[in-house]
Amino acid sequence: MVVTAAPARAEPQASVGVTVGAAGEGLDHQIWSERTAFHLGLHGDVLFGRSSTGDFGVGPYVEILSHAFDEVQFGGGVSGLLPILDTFPLVLSAGAYGRKGSDRFGLEPGLAAELFWGSRSYNFNSRYVLSGGLLTQMRYGLGPSHETSVVVAAQVDLGLLVLPVLFLVTAARGGSPETAPLAPPP
């Protein structure tokens, strides 16, 4: 009997989540000095180099968010997954962002750092992996407002939020074509 090893395949793993929480904002590089605002965002990333739950991963991320709906921030950077626990890894992210508020400062650049801890396993059947957990961010503005913000939020996978809508649409269309209809009882 000859045993041959299959080549390891590291498929990219993507995830998109909605972030909901609080942001402590400050101006002139003071932390949490102005107000506490409602935070709502969308964060997506693709991690490369993983072929199992115990592997490290690295890749790009993009995000768009708002604090109290009176500004928009958009940015991106790089994320790295550290497999502390197989299904509960740490994901560290660092990048840059642009901030456009309703204030007099216009479009301002900034730097962001994020720590995510929660459920993010490895999907052996698809390139999309469900994730959900807690995150903290530090956002440091480089523009004239010297805006800073500390974000504490929960991240819920967008796929989980869309599932009820997909179920209703599929049910309204008469069910899934991949499933056989139930036979009537004899």
Structure token digits, residue 132: 């959900």
Going through the chain in order, the beta strands assigned E by DSSP cover: 13-26, 35-47, 57-67, 71-82, 90-101, 107-120, 131-141, 148-157
Number of domains in the chain: 1
CATH number for the domain that contains residue 77: 2.40.160.20
Given a contact cutoff of 8 angstroms between Cβ atoms, the answer to whether 36 and 52 are in contact is no
Q: Residue 162: inside a domain, yes or no?
A: yes
For residue 109, being part of any structural domain is answered with yes
CB 132 within 8 A of CB 155: yes
Is residue 186 in some structural domain? no
CA distance 148 to 158: 27
For residue 3, the model assigns a pLDDT of 57
Asked, for residue 140, whether it belongs to a domain, the answer is yes
Alpha carbon of residue 86 to chain centroid? 18
Specify if 2 maps to a domain: no
Give the ranges where the chain is alpha helix by DSSP (H).
158-172
Domain limits at 90?
13-172
| 19: in domain | yes
Sequence letter at residue 6:
A
Report the candidate in 121, 167, 136 with the shortest Cα–Cα distance to residue 15: 121
pLDDT tens for the chain, 186 residues: list them: 555 555 556 689 999 999 999 999 998 878 888 899 999 999 999 999 999 989 999 999 999 999 999 999 999 999 999 999 888 999 999 999 999 987 777 899 999 999 999 999 888 888 999 999 999 999 999 998 888 999 999 999 998 888 888 888 888 888 777 776 666 777
- Does some domain include residue 6? no
pTM of this structure: 0.83
**What's the confidence (pLDDT) of residue 175?**
78
Domain membership flag for residue 23: yes
